[in-house]
Amino acid sequence: MAENQYAQWNQKIIDEFRANSGTVNSAPFGRSLVLVHHTGAKSGTERITPVMYIRQDPDTWLIAASKAGTPENPAWYHNLLAHPDTTIETPDDGVVAVHVVDLKGEERDAAWDRFTTISPGFRAYQERTTRIIPVLALGRRTS
């Protein structure tokens, strides 16, 4: 998918998410997405990306930087590492201020296992690439 087509598709998903209180039925997502707000690591441009999540607990959302198994990590992954205090829009909690942690070692592996158990697509993504697909924990920030 060309970059412009990808941006248009993302915007359609974002619009549907917001119009339907977090439900996206035009693609097979239902209520499995969060909208991740991130700031460009180099550009400083603010962006929003829909990403599938797993709720680890009431204050933590897990996301995988799979990029459908391409050789490189998605740009939003680098942006979140550069600017780890951000916000997400969730189907159940609305807008939530979060702090991003890049999981490592056994913690990452256990979280990744959850993704591959829930969706066989994630197993296929891993088979397409030699990189270790990062998993990020988005933990609710308290004031």
What confidence score (pLDDT) does residue 7 get? 83
What confidence score (pLDDT) does residue 5 get? 81
pLDDT tens sequence across 13-23: 999 999 999 99
Q: Is the pLDDT of residue 2 over 70?
A: no
Is the separation of the CB atoms in 89 and 95 below 8 Å? yes
What confidence score (pLDDT) does residue 4 get? 80
More confident residue, 87 or 3: 87
Rounded to two decimals, the pTM is 0.93
- Domains of the chain (ranges, CATH numbers): 31-140 (2.30.110.10)
What confidence score (pLDDT) does residue 40 get? 93
Mean predicted lDDT score pLDDT of the chain: 93
pLDDT tens sequence across 37-96: 999 999 999 999 999 999 999 999 999 999 888 899 999 999 999 999 999 999 999 999
Q: Which of 49, 87, 43 is nearest to 65 (CA)?
A: 49
pLDDT tens sequence across 88-135: 999 999 999 999 999 999 999 999 999 999 988 888 898 899 999 999
Q: Which of 2, 132, 4, 15 is nearest to 65 (CA)?
A: 132
